[in-house]
Amino acid sequence: MRRMDAGCGWAKVAVDGKRNNGICLLVFLLLKLRSKASADSTSNSSYTVNIMANTTNPNPEPLPADKVERTDADWCTVLSPQQFEVLRKKGTEPPFRNEYWNNHKAGVYRCAACGLLLFKSDSKFDSGTGWPSFSSPVAESNVKLVADNSHGMRRIEVECPRCESHLGHMFDDGPAPSGKRFCMNSASLKFYPSIDTPYTTSKPATDPSK
């Protein structure tokens, strides 16, 4: 694991201003997605999950197409040093010394950087790797898969399609029916007990790897 970026301090959390913009556009996109979700429910997509259940949350559900772009300096103001290293510099946290590898609570996991809904607890399984592992994301469109040939290996990197942060890797040795294992970094995720729990992009109070 690479050294933490000493320049990324623990400054006050900033609010994602983009979420406050384009409410009308979001409503339109949500309606559009709803009709697409209905169409998808009749397909054979193994990833199709109803993410439109979020009807009581006053926060608009962020969509993959609602892009978030920040400079490294800006990311430093909303991410902890460990989150910055993993999410923005493609680092890897240590196994078994991270927040969610052994979390069995029911709920949802969002991108720690931008709040995009990524996984539900019912797809989480004990992979024995020491990292939180999921058999499928909430929707195929809510993860971005990228070829990763670094470190002499051929792997598939998983990124957040909304903010292009690094989340982890996907492997083909997961449980049925998807056969996939989404091996994530806890630092890239933020757990909420319900899809209706208002999300934040705040930093953790303590670094669980220490």
- Residue ranges binding Zn ion (CB under 5 A): 111, 113-114, 116, 160, 162-163, 165
Tell me the C-alpha distance between 205 and 210, whole Å: 12
Longest dimension (CA), the chain: 50
Residues β-bridged to residue 157: 146, 169
Please state whether 96 falls in left (phi above 0), alpha (psi between -120 and 50) or beta.
Answer: left
Residues β-bridged to residue 133: 125, 183
Asked if 93 and 186 count as a contact pair (C-beta separation under 8 A), the reply is yes
Q: How far is the CB of 115 from Zn ion (least distance, A)?
A: 7
Q: How far is the CB of 44 from Zn ion (least distance, A)?
A: 28
24 catalytically annotated: no
Query: 78 or 183: whose CB is closer to Zn ion?
Result: 78
Within the chain, how many helices (H) and strands (E) appear? 3, 9
- CB under 8 Å to 96, separation ≥6 — which residues? 130
Query: 113 or 143: whose CB is closer to Zn ion?
Result: 113
Please state whether 170 falls in left (phi above 0), alpha (psi between -120 and 50) or beta.
Answer: beta
Query: 18 or 155: whose CB is closer to Zn ion?
Result: 18
Query: 162 or 181: whose CB is closer to Zn ion?
Result: 162
Q: How far is the CB of 38 from Zn ion (least distance, A)?
A: 26
Indicate which residue of 8, 111, 163, 183 is catalytic: 183
Query: 69 or 172: whose CB is closer to Zn ion?
Result: 69
Residues β-bridged to residue 110: 117, 190
Q: How far is the CB of 77 from Zn ion (least distance, A)?
A: 16
Q: How far is the CB of 56 from Zn ion (least distance, A)?
A: 23
DSSP alpha helix (H) spans, the chain: 23-40, 72-78, 81-83
Catalytic residues: 183
